Amino acid sequence: MLDVDIQHRQGAFELQARFQSDGKLTALFGPSGSGKTTVVNAIGGLVRPDHGRIAVQGRMLVDTKKNVFVPKHRRRIGYVFQEGRLFPHLNVRQNLLFGRWFTPRRERKTGFESVVELLSIGHLLERRPATLSGGEKQRVAIGRALLADPQLLLMDEPLASLDDARKAEIFPYIERLRDEGGVPIVLVSHSVPEIARLATTVVVLSEGRVAASGPASDILRHTILFRQTGLTEAGALIGAQVLRHEADFGLTVLQARAGTLTVPLLDHPMGSRMRVRLRARDIILSLHEPKGMSALNVLPGFISSIEEAEGPSMDVQLDCGGDALVARVTRKSVHELGLRPGLHVHAIIKSIAFDPDALGGAKPENM
Amino acid sequence: MTDWLSPEEWTAVRLSLKVGFVAMAASLIPGIAIALLLERGRFWGRQVLDVLVHLPLVLPPVVVGWFLLIGFGRRGPIGSFLAEQFGIVFSFRWTGAALACAIMGFPLLVRAIRLSIAAVDRKLEDAAGTLGAHPVWVFAVVTLPLIVPGIIAGMVLSFAKAMGEFGATITFVSNIPGETQTIPSAIYTYTQVPGGESGAMRLTLVSIAVSVAALWLSEWLARRMRGRIHA
């Protein structure tokens, strides 16, 4: 549904991006200067690429060979900017309804009330943008884009200007949008926890090129892709369900295909589904089932492959009952333990190693 | 009140106000257009246009008046064309005074509007575009409301300039009581006749009052607009 193949030169920087995505939330990931914003600007019509094609939902928006360039006001692509960009002379209600004036009547599908409710901004409607907090501004900006009934929603680091508390305030709304709203999202981010929590598809950009693209759970397992930005943050992404809470110990037990995982107490209800990120650096490998150890999580599985990582490290890719995990170990350990594809091992994870930021609500189909 | 000013003085005051308003109103739309063109436009001859617009600011007013006289006079190329085709006559009419004032105030109007256009965050216009607004609509509902304070400032400057314009007006349309004798021309006339001091003083006071009122009004309007945008 999103098909991008563009070349664009901006000063000394050259972008050459080619990827496709069918994901509900496609994350464009990469360090600053890797070309993420240029790609979304090209999709949104704010930048005219030198060469190439862009198609959204089968509609050709840019095709330099056929001299096609649909202007931004006819693309029907929503854009949530890093700084919100609310109109200062209009109140929140007028901002929200801005795009609606320009949407043909029969194409107005999104209900004003439902968007206001989804983003919890009902109490802000008569306020001016200058009086809103950063998090409130971004929620209004998201609502404003949605109410123009876009075919695709672009979000350029919508959380970058917010502190952690404000980020935590916005995350659930983007998750709800991904799971409930029909509109596919392209999210620009340079934060691994953010994409681990939100993305279904990840496109990794590096120096203007696409280094990798695919389902989030596949891409995040390859730590080498996250060299500059989030080496220590990369890891596997697996789906799990809340099995029970052990309130006395302050723990929650999750069920994944790989086995049970004990994590610090969560406030998700029993039976709810979520995605869990297991960082490669937090996993230890053992040839034998460990006994008398304090780590609560031991997942048996097979080594599927061993990849070069950085310096003395290697990434051991595991298949634990159908869940793909990855462990960061030293080259020396690989050698001494005789690790090789096909070998049966046990992955050991400390419970407190779970990153609460990366625990996101997710329907199974959005994994 | 009517006793305080003589009928001739009242005529001059009324004429000045009429000339000022007409000059300001007539130059508003061209002023916004030229300010946009100069600030946003990329075309050959932009520098030339910029210089032309600013010339009245640096030229002696008498020179501007003289140019108007040869251009827009009865026998001038533009003046004769307008008189024949549309019946619009400038020379020795109050309309000519308004034209002279409009041209003298034009650089002030354009500068004020242009500054406010430069201050508009173009990213807001991009955002409006992604929401489906055609560029014309973007200008009407985003850019224009944001530059209103600059437009008001420009209008006040243009009006104030018209109230004080002397050199170009007297050169172009002379000093005819009831037709082209604005407040400055009337003051000048009073200073040329014996015993005219009190009349000159009264008109000077009126001139000061009008200027102060205009400034105060523009400040008040601008503050109200800023309040609406930033509060």
Least confident of A74-78, A359-363, B211-215: A359-363
A252 forms beta bridges with A245, A263
Please tell me the number of Cα atoms within 13 Å of B179 on its side-chain side. Answer: 12
What is the structure's pLDDT at B107? Answer: 96
pLDDT reading at B137 higher than 80: yes
Q: Contacts of residue B131 in chain A, CB cutoff 8 Å? A: 73, 78, 98-99, 102, 144-145, 148
pLDDT reading at B231 higher than 60: no
Phi-psi group of B92: left, alpha or beta (phi > 0 → left; psi -120 to 50 → alpha; rest → beta): left
CA distance A216 to chain B (A): 28
**Among B130, B141, B229, whose Cβ lies nearest the Cβ of A78?**
B130
By DSSP bridging, strand A25-29 and strand A185-189 are parallel
CB contact under 8 A, A98 and B130: no
Q: How far apart (Å, rounded) are the C-alpha atoms in residues A85 and A83? A: 6
Residue in chain B nearest A79 by alpha carbon: B130
Scored b (16 or more CB within 10 A) or e, B194-203 reads eeeeebbebb
Residues 6+ away with beta carbon under 8 Å from A291: none
Q: How far apart (Å, rounded) are the C-alpha atoms in residues A232 and A34? A: 20
What is the structure's pLDDT at A222? Answer: 78
What is the structure's pLDDT at A367? Answer: 53
pLDDT digits (tens, 9 = 90+) for A272-322: 888 888 888 888 898 888 887 766 788 999 999 888 877 788 888 999 988
Please tell me the number of Cα atoms within 13 Å of A289 on its side-chain side. Answer: 3
**Among B131, B142, B231, whose Cβ lies nearest the Cβ of A144?**
B131
Mutate to test the interface with A, among B130, B146, B224, B225 (most CBs of A within 10 A): B130
Is the CB of residue A258 less than 8 Å from the CB of residue A238? yes
Q: How far apart (Å, rounded) are the C-alpha atoms in residues B68 and A163? A: 63
What is the structure's pLDDT at A181? Answer: 67
A254 forms beta bridges with A242, A261
Band of pLDDT at residue A357, cut at 50, 70 and 90: low
What is the structure's pLDDT at A225? Answer: 72
The pair phi, psi for residue B187, each rounded to 5°, is -60, -45
pLDDT digits (tens, 9 = 90+) for A69-112: 999 999 999 999 988 899 999 999 999 999 988 888 888 888 89
Q: How far apart (Å, rounded) are the C-alpha atoms in residues A8 and A17? A: 9
pLDDT digits (tens, 9 = 90+) for B4-28: 888 888 999 999 999 999 999 999 9
pLDDT digits (tens, 9 = 90+) for A343-355: 999 999 877 666 6
Is the CB of residue A347 less than 8 Å from the CB of residue A283? yes
Q: What is the percent of chain A with per-residue pLDDT over 90, rounded to a whole number? A: 35
Q: What is the percent of chain A with per-residue pLDDT over 70, rounded to a whole number? A: 92
pLDDT digits (tens, 9 = 90+) for A41-55: 999 999 999 999 999
Average confidence (pLDDT) over A185-196:
86
**Among B126, B131, B137, whose Cβ lies nearest the Cβ of A148?**
B131
A348 forms beta bridges with A284, A298
pLDDT digits (tens, 9 = 90+) for B75-98: 888 988 988 888 888 988 999 999
Q: How far apart (Å, rounded) are the C-alpha atoms in residues B114 and A175? A: 44
Diameter of chain B measured on Cα atoms: 70
Mutate to test the interface with A, among B131, B138, B224 (most CBs of A within 10 A): B131
Q: What is the pTM of this model?
A: 0.79
| SS3 assignment, position A308 | strand
For residue A82, which amino acid is it?
Answer: Q
For residue B138, which amino acid is it?
Answer: V
Q: Across the A/B interface, how many CB contacts are shorter than 8 Å?
A: 73
Q: How far apart (Å, rounded) are the C-alpha atoms in residues A140 and A131? A: 12
CA distance B114 to chain A (A): 19
What is the structure's pLDDT at A125? Answer: 95
- Supply the DSSP symbol for B125: H
What is the structure's pLDDT at B228? Answer: 65
Residue in chain B nearest A145 by alpha carbon: B131
Within 10 Å of residue A259's Cβ, how many Cβ atoms?
A: 16
Average confidence (pLDDT) over B116-135:
94
What is the structure's pLDDT at A232? Answer: 60
pLDDT reading at A206 higher than 90: no
pLDDT reading at A247 higher than 60: yes
Residues 6+ away with beta carbon under 8 Å from A67: none
Q: Contacts of residue B134 in chain A, CB cutoff 8 Å? A: 73, 102
CA distance B226 to chain A (A): 9
Average pLDDT along chain A: 86
Phi-psi group of A299: left, alpha or beta (phi > 0 → left; psi -120 to 50 → alpha; rest → beta): beta
Please tell me the number of Cα atoms within 13 Å of B213 on its side-chain side. Answer: 9
Band of pLDDT at residue A363, cut at 50, 70 and 90: low
Give the residue with greater pLDDT, B220 vs A293. Answer: B220
CB contact under 8 A, B145 and A89: yes
CB contact under 8 A, B130 and A77: yes
Closest CA to B217 of B161, B151, B173, B152: B152
Band of pLDDT at residue A228, cut at 50, 70 and 90: low
Residues 29-88 of A with CB under 8 A from B: 44-46, 71-79, 81, 83, 85, 87-88
Tokens of A320: 């634990």
pLDDT digits (tens, 9 = 90+) for B96-111: 999 999 999 999 999 9
CB contact under 8 A, B128 and A98: yes
pLDDT reading at B46 higher than 70: yes
From the number of C-beta atoms within 10 Å of its C-beta (0-12, 13-18, 19+), residue A28 rates as buried
Tokens of B156: 């006040």
